[in-house]
Amino acid sequence: MINPVELAGFVLSLAMVYCNIKEIHWGWPLAILSSLLYGSVFWNEQLYGEACLQIMFVLTAAWGWQQWLRGSASAPIGTDADASPAPLAKAKLDVSGLQASERRVAFIATLLAWPSFSFFLHRYTDSDVAVWDGLVTALSLLGQYLLGRKKIETWWVWMLVNVLTVGLMVEKSLWLTAVLYGIFAVLSYIGLQAWRRHEQ
């Protein structure tokens, strides 16, 4: 029998990814709702890293929503040499790629976060998939940060996260969620292609 909480999270998550691909900011509140639902599902299945990750998703989704709504700074409106400074126009946050130095920082941060999360899960919980769960947690936080900044690399990270999570959900017999993450993997590729057309 399908867990109704899992089903609701499934539907909201699909709607969220659609909004992300289309650069619609309403994907962020959908992320908050789906994360709260999945936090409950994962906790009940002893996927504590995934459950705690959902809380982080709620916090980073609030931040990402603000980033997308705020946009980026642009040139002042209607300025001239003799006029007083005009307010800045609110510009849409554009899709862009990471610089080489930013990629290195992201890689090192993830490499440090993975064993840290895995150790915590192994030491302080009864998780039987601590290393795997820790890796997915570390990569997911990176993906969420990159998504908030509209970095195109977010889709590569999410493709990896989604493939790994399919295996994790199968291990826990969360079949509907395994299907969801399989769909996510395909949507991540679609999102990558869509964002490539808008990359600055």
Q: Model confidence over 1-33: pLDDT tens digits?
A: 678 998 999 899 999 999 999 999 999 999 999
Q: How far is CA 72 from the centre of its chain?
A: 20
Contact 106, 98 (CB under 8 A): yes
Per-range mean pLDDT, top range of 11-20, 39-48, 126-135: 11-20
Whether residue 114 is predicted with pLDDT greater than 50 in this model: the reply is yes
**Beta-bridge partner residues of 109:** none
Whether residue 175 is predicted with pLDDT greater than 70 in this model: the reply is yes
pLDDT grade, residue 154 (50/70/90)? very high
CA of 147: how far to CAs of 83, 90, 141, in Å?
38, 20, 10
pLDDT confidence of residue 85 = 53
Contact 11, 18 (CB under 8 A): no
- Residue 98: Cβ within 10 Å count: 16
Query: Side chain identity at 50, as an amino acid letter?
Result: E
Token pair of 123, please?
A: 């030491």
- Residue 3: Cβ within 10 Å count: 17
pLDDT confidence of residue 75 = 42
Whether residue 72 is predicted with pLDDT greater than 90 in this model: the reply is no
